[in-house]
Amino acid sequence: MSNLVVIEFDTEEQAFAMRAELANLQKEYLIEMDDIVVVTKNEKGKVKLHQAVNLTAAGAVGGSFWGMLIGMIFLNPLLGAAVGAGAGALSGKLNDIGINDDFMKELGANLTDGTSALFILFRKATGDKVLERLKQTGLKGKVLQTSLTVDAEDELRKVFEG
């Protein structure tokens, strides 16, 4: 079962720095994430999602490959690649894996202008090691929402809120 954690930061840079640190922790097999997204709200109140994976681009690449392959069968690989890229890009744009985009936009609308939030969906984590590394970053934020146990959430709050 996956757990969701949402942390608000005072600046965009802090959320991106935390995302980078969590990516490093994943490379070290200390956390296994399903999705991680930075949500920013600019000074004009516009909310933007910064997905870690661009599904539209990935769909276009995959679609162009399969389109070219099918096009080769029908002796028109360029047309097949173009049609495949378009179909793949559309498919990638319409796919929503991980954290629901509407949920993130709704929570992002409640952020203070000029701040950001980090949405983390993870399956497993070596709790004590992850919390210690996050504490070492010195980044401070406010835990907005979690699906963790009460004790685990309290430990997380100690790290980010002091």
Question: What pLDDT, on a 0 to 100 scale, did the predictor assign at position 65?
Answer: 57
Write out pLDDT tens, residues 38-84: 999 998 889 999 887 544 445 555 555 556 556 666 666 666 656 55
For residues 60 and 47, state if they share a domain.
Answer: no
Mean pLDDT over 121-134 rounds to 92
| Residue 160: band (very low, low, confident or very high) from pLDDT cuts 50, 70, 90 | very high
Distance, in Å, from the CA atom of 47 to the CA atom of 102, rounded to the nearest integer, reads 11
Q: How many domains does the chain have?
A: 2
Is residue 16 a contact partner of residue 137, using CB atoms and an 8 Å limit? no
For residues 104 and 29, state if they share a domain.
Answer: yes
Distance, in Å, from the CA atom of 132 to the CA atom of 7, rounded to the nearest integer, reads 17
For residues 47 and 32, state if they share a domain.
Answer: yes
Across the chain, what does the average pLDDT equal? 82
Q: What is the pTM of this model?
A: 0.73
Domain residues for the domain of 74 are: 55-94
For residues 33 and 108, state if they share a domain.
Answer: yes
